[in-house]
Amino acid sequence: MSTNLGKRCIRKSVLTIIASVSFLNHALAQYNSLSDSTEIGTTGVYLSPWLGTYSQSGTTSPWLFTDTIGWVYLYEDADSIWLYNEELSGWLWTTQSNFPYAYSASLGWIYFTRIAPLSYYYQFNTKAWYTLEKAWYSPILNSQERAARFLSQATLGADYETVNSVTQIGPERWLNSQFQLPVVTLRSAIERIFQDDDGQYQPEFMEVENFTFRTAWWERVISGNDLLRQRITLALSEIFVISDAGELNEHPVAIASYYDMLQRHALGNFRDLLYDVTLHPCMGFYLSHAGNRRPDPATGRFPDENYAREIMQLFTIGLYELNMDGSRKLDPQGNPIPTYDNSDITEFARVYTGIHYDIRQEIGVIASDPEITNSPNLETITFDEIMAFELINFEDPMIFFEREHDTDSKSLLNGTIIPAGQTIQQDLNAALDNLFNHPSAPPFVSKLLIQRLVKSNPSPAYINRVANAFVDNGQGSRGDMKAIISAILLDVEARTPDMLSDINHGKMREPFFKLIHFMRAFNATPAVGTHYLWDYESSEIFGQRPLSSPSVFNFFLPDYMPSGPVGDAGLVAPEFQIANSSTLSTTLNTLHGVIVDDEIQQREYDPENLEYAQYQEFFTEWSVDLKDEIALTGNLSALIDRLDLVLTYGRLSEGTRSAIISGLQNFSNLEGIGNETLVRLAIYLIMASPDYNITR
C-alpha cells in the first residue's frame, strides 16, 4: 500500500476530531467499522477482520483494548478511522483497508505488528522498530503467565526455564523452533536400551506386557526436547487409535513402529499420515483389513467393512456433512445429512482388498526350512496360507497382493467413480484422496485436534479458522499439519486471556498426562535406560494409558456430555467420560504416591535375567529437581506463586490458594514433614485442585 494515501484528509480531520471528543462520550459506540466483528465465545472479546482482537469496556464505551496496540479510543466517520493511543501520545489516522498502517501527526507513517507476547511498530521516517510497552499488558495475565498458559496447551508439561524462554521469544518463534527438531524414533531407543552383554539388540526377550515400547516411550516423553511433537503424537494416537490392550501387547516393537509413524507425520501432512496409517500393519490387524479379500459370490464371501467404516467415521469425515465451522449441513427439512450410507461402506470395503502383511522375509525363512515341503512363494501364496503359517510382520508397511484385490469399478463419495482394472495403489490413493478432499474433512479433523489441545467446545468461528488453515496453509497446500497446529495454538480463542472469564472455555486435563506433567515440570531425571515406569495398571487407575485404549473409540468420545453443570448446559467434555467415582479417587491416590511418597513403580531391565524382569519399586532413579522450590519453603506464599506459574499459569483462585496454604501450615506441624515433603505436598494439592484439572 502507498503511504501517501489520504494525507490531505488527515490534516483536515485532525482538528475536527479533537473538537468532537467531548460529546463523543455520550455517543453509543456502535461502530460501522466493527459491525462485522464476531464475538469469541461469550467473553465480550471480539475479532475484527481489520483490527484483530479487542474487548470493549462496556457496550457503550469508545475505549477498546486491542491485542495489537493496547488501549485505544476509536472514532470513525464515513471514510476515516481515528485511534487515540496514550503510549503513542496522540491520534492516529487509518482506514479499514490501510490498517495496520496508520498515520500520526507526531510520528508520521507507522506500521503495527504483533509477535506475541509483544507488539511493535515500525516508524517509516526513522526506519526503526519500536516496542509498544503497554500493548501486551493484560489486567488478567502477565506475559510469563501467558507463556505458561500457551505451554499448557502445546506440551505435556513444561518447566520454569521453558516458561521463561517462551516468555522471551513468544509462541510463534517457539513453535517454529519446535518444527525444526528432528524425529527421534522409539525404534532407535529400543535398539540402544535393549542390548545384551555383547552389545546385541535383544528385543524378543522383552516382549512381555509391552516392556520395550513403554520403556522407550517414557524416556522420550520425559526427556525429549521435542515437546510439541510428543504432544501432537499423543493427540493423534487418540484419533488414529490402535491399542496394546489385546494381542498387540505381545508386539511392542510393532507398537513403537506405529508410534514412530505418527511422530513422523505429526508435523507433516495429513494425507501422508492417512496413507501410512492405512498401510500400517498394526492398524491392519486392529481394524482387520490386513488380509481382506475380494468378494467370492460362490461362497457368499464379502469384503471386510471394518476399516472402510472407521476411517470415515473416526479418522476423516464423520457421520454428518459439515460446514467449515463444524456445524452440520441441513437438508431442506432441517435434518442433518448423513455423509455416507452402508452402500458407500461396501464400495470402500472393496478398495481395501488385497492388502496384507509384508511377509517377504518370513516367506524366505520358510523356503529355507528343509522340514517344510511345498513351501509357498510370494507369487502364489494364499491369504489362508499366510494365516496357516502364521506369517506376520507388524513393523513394516503392508504390501499389495493384486490377485486378492477387487478390481471392479467402485463408486466413492460425491460422485467419484474409480474405473475397473486399477491396481491396489491406484484405488487406495483415489479413495484416500476422496476422503482427504471431502469438504467435511477440514472441520472434522480440526475440531478433534482443537478438543485434544485447547478446549472441548470450540466456537464455530474458531473451527472455521483452523479448517481454513487445513484447506490452505497460505501457500496453497492442503493438510499441512504445521499450519493446522499453528492455527489451533495461536488462534485468538486459544490465546486471549479474556477467554479465562468464559465459564465454558477449556477442557479437563487427561488424567494420565498429569503424571507426565509432574515429571516434565520438575525435570525428572530419566534412569540410565534400564528401568521403566510401571504403568501397567494405569488403565484401571487413570482410566487411560497411552496406546492402550479399550476400543477404536478411544478412552472417551468427542461428544460425551457428563452429568452435572457441563452436561446441563448442553456442553461436551470428552475427558469426563473417564472421570468416575473410581478413577477420580484412584488418580488422587496414585498421584500422591508418585509426587509425595516418591514411589514411582518401575521394572528393572536385567540383561542377565531377561525373561523374569524384576518388579521393584525405586525411590531415587527418576528423581525430580525441587531445589528452587525447597528454597522457598520459608515463604509459603512465594512457593505457591512459583508453582502456580508453572502448573496453573497464575490462575489459582484465591480460595484454592488459601486452602492450600493453610493446609501446608498444618502439615508443617506434623511430625516428619520436612521442607521437601512440604514442596511435594504443595505440588500435589495444586494438582488435586479443580483449578488445575481444568485448563482454560
Partner 1 sequence: MCAPKNISRRNFLGQASCAAVGSSALFSTLFNLRMASVAAAQSTPSSSEDYKALVCIFLGGGNDSFNMLVPRSGTAYSDYRTTRSDLALSTSNLLALNVGNTDGRDFGIHNAMPEVQSLFNTGKSAMVCNVGTLVEPTTLASLNSGSARLPLGLYSHSDQIMQWQTSVPDQRSTSGWGGRIADLLESANSDQTVSMNISMSGNNTFQTGAQVSSFVAGSDAEGQEEESGLYDSLNPNPYQELLSTTVQNMIDQEYVHLFERNYASAVNSSIGGRLAYKRALQSVSEFQTQFPTNGIGGAMRTVAKTIAARQALGKRRQTFFIMFGGWDHHDEVINAQNQMLAVVSQGIHALNSAMEEIGIADKVTSFTASDFGRTLTSNGRGSDHAWGGNQIVTGGAVSGGLLYGNYPELYIGNNLDTGRGRLIPTTSTDEYFAELALWFGVSRSELPNLFPNLNRFYNLNSGSAPLGFMKS
**Binding of residue 411 to partner 1 (CB under 8 A):** no
Q: Which of 576, 605, 622, 649 binds partner 1 (CB under 8 A)?
A: 576
Q: Which residues within the stretch 86-125 sit at the binding site for partner 1 (CB under 8 A)?
A: none
Which of 206, 600, 632, 660 is close enough to bind partner 1 by CB under 8 A?
660
Nearer to partner 1 among residue 359 and residue 561 (C-beta) = 561
Decide: 544 and 511 in contact? Cβ < 8 Å.
yes
Q: Are 155 and 231 in contact (CB under 8 A)?
A: yes
Task: Give how far Cα 297 sits from Cα of 289, 294, 407, 420, Å.
Answer: 19, 10, 15, 18
588 counts as binding partner 1 under rule CB under 8 A: yes
Interactions with partner 1, residue window 333-362 (CB under 8 A)? 342, 345
Pattern 317-336, binding to partner 1, x per CB under 8 A?
Answer: --x-----------------
Between CA 69 and CA 99 the distance in angstroms is 12
Instruction: Give least dist CB 621 to partner 1, A.
Output: 24
Residue by residue, DSSP assigns 191-211 as HHHSB-TTS-B--GGGTTTTH
Per CB under 8 A, the segment of 94-102, 425-433, 587-595, 605-613 that binds partner 1 is 587-595
Q: Which is nearer to partner 1, 284 or 546 (CB)?
A: 284
Q: Are 383 and 339 in contact (CB under 8 A)?
A: no
The gap between the terminal CA atoms of the chain, to the nearest Å, is 39
Contact 472, 446 (CB under 8 A): no
Would you count residue 303 as binding partner 1 (CB under 8 A)?
A: yes
CA angle 627, 631, 637 (to 5 degrees): 120
Judged by CB under 8 A, the stretch of 193-201, 217-225, 370-378, 548-556 that binds partner 1 is 548-556
Q: Which of 520, 656, 678, 680 binds partner 1 (CB under 8 A)?
A: 656
Q: Site for partner 1 (CB under 8 A): which residue of 94, 257, 292, 316?
A: 292
**Candidate residues 166, 279, 573, 595; the one interacting with partner 1 per rule CB under 8 A:** 573
- Confirm if 532 and 215 have CB atoms less than 8 A apart: yes
Q: Which is nearer to partner 1, 3 or 675 (CB)?
A: 675
> Using the rule CB under 8 A, is 419 a contact of partner 1?
no
528-559 burial by CB neighbour count: b if 16+ within 10 A, else e? eebbbbbbbebbebbbbbbbbbeebebbbebe
296 part of the interface to partner 1, by CB under 8 A? yes
Report the nearest approach of partner 1 to the CB of residue 553 (Å). 6
Considering only residues 367-406, where is the footprint of partner 1 by CB under 8 A?
Answer: 383
Q: Smaller CB distance to partner 1: residue 245 or 366? A: 245
Q: Could you say whether residue 42 binds partner 1 (CB under 8 A)?
A: no
Q: Which CB atom, from 24 or from 387, has the smaller least distance to partner 1? A: 387
Q: Does 440 bind partner 1 (CB under 8 A)?
A: no
State the cell numbers at 641. Answer: 506463586
Among 507, 531, 545, 603, binds partner 1 (CB under 8 A): 507
Q: State the cell numbers at 188.
A: 532407535
What is the rounded distance in angstroms from the CA atom of residue 649 to the CA atom of residue 696? 10
Within 518-547, which residues bind partner 1 (CB under 8 A)? Answer: 540, 543
Per rule CB under 8 A, is residue 201 in the interface with partner 1? no
Residue 297 CA to residue 201 CA, distance in Å, equals 48
Residue among 529, 485, 526, 512 at smallest CA distance from 224? 526
Query: With binding defined as CB under 8 A, does residue 585 bind partner 1?
Result: yes
* 288 lies in the site for partner 1, by CB under 8 A: yes
Within residues 222-281, the interface with partner 1 by CB under 8 A covers: 246
Cβ closer to partner 1: 477 or 551?
551
Least distance to partner 1 from the beta carbon of 652, Å? 10
**Nearer residue to partner 1 within complex by CB, 263 or 689:** 689
DSSP state of 243: B
Contacting range for partner 1; rule: CB under 8 A; set: 11-19, 141-149, 197-205, 658-666? 658-666
Q: Give the contacts of 115 (CB within 8 A, at least 6 positions apart).
A: 170, 172, 173
Selected binder of partner 1 within 200, 333, 380, 563 (CB under 8 A): 563
**Closest CB 580 distance from partner 1, rounded Å:** 4
CB of 130 to partner 1, least distance (A): 38
Listed in sequence order, the residues at least 6 apart from 659 whose beta carbon sits closer than 8 Å to its beta carbon are: none
Strand partners, 338: 320
Q: Is 116 exposed, middle or buried (0-12, 13-18, 19+ CB in 10 A)?
A: buried
Task: Select from 317, 508, 521, 678 the one that contacts partner 1 (CB under 8 A).
Answer: 508
Stretch that binds partner 1, among 91-99, 323-331, 500-508, 629-637 (CB under 8 A): 500-508
Chain mean position to CA 448:
9
Site residues for partner 1, 591-630, by CB under 8 A, read 592
Question: Can you tell me the distance from the alpha carbon of 528 to that of 480, in angstroms, rounded to the nearest whole number?
Answer: 37
What cell does 271 get? 494425507
Q: Is 140 in the site for partner 1 (CB under 8 A)?
A: no
Least distance to partner 1, CB of residue 671, Å: 9
- In the bound state with partner 1, the residue whose beta carbon lies nearer, of 417 and 659, is 659
- Helix ranges (H only) for 329-440 are 342-351, 360-367, 383-388, 424-436
Q: Whose Cβ is closer to partner 1: residue 258's or residue 286's?
A: 286
Q: Which of residues 661-680 bind partner 1 (CB under 8 A)?
A: 662-663, 666-667, 670
Whats the size of the chain, residue-wise? Answer: 696
Smaller CB separation from partner 1, 17 or 359:
359
Report the C-alpha gap between 637 and 615 in whole angstroms. 40
Rounded alpha-carbon distances, angstroms, from residue 250 to 205, 361, 394 = 11, 20, 11
Tell me the site size for partner 1, rule CB under 8 A. Answer: 77
